């Protein structure tokens, strides 16, 4: 079984921009958003949302 160090070395090899995009993707997924086949972010029907949350959060600026 691979240890934590192998995961971090994989992460360390990514560019800062790629890391930023992956963090945003993980944030959206953990917040209940999923991507449809066209790549658009849509609400997961099995997740709970605040009533005012109609669009996924935008990618934060660098």
The stretch 45-56 carries a mean pLDDT of 82
Q: How far apart are CA 60 and CA 3, in angstroms?
A: 31
Tokens of 40: 């658009």
Place of tokens 């009533």: 51
Say if residue 8's pLDDT is above 90.
Answer: no
Average the pLDDT over 40-47 and give the result.
91
Average pLDDT of every residue of the chain: 84
What mean pLDDT is predicted for residues 51-62?
Answer: 81
Question: In this predicted structure, what is the pLDDT of residue 10?
Answer: 81
Provide the β-strand partners of residue 42: 34
What is the band of 5 on the pLDDT scale with cuts at 50, 70, 90? low
């Amino acid at each position: 079984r691979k240890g934590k160090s192998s995961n971090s070395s994989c992460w360390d090899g990514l560019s800062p921009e790629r890391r930023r995009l992956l963090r945003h993707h993980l944030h959206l997924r953990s917040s209940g958003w999923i991507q449809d086949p066209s790549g658009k972010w849509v609400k997961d029907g099995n997740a709970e949302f605040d009533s005012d949350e109609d669009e996924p959060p935008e990618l934060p600026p660098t």
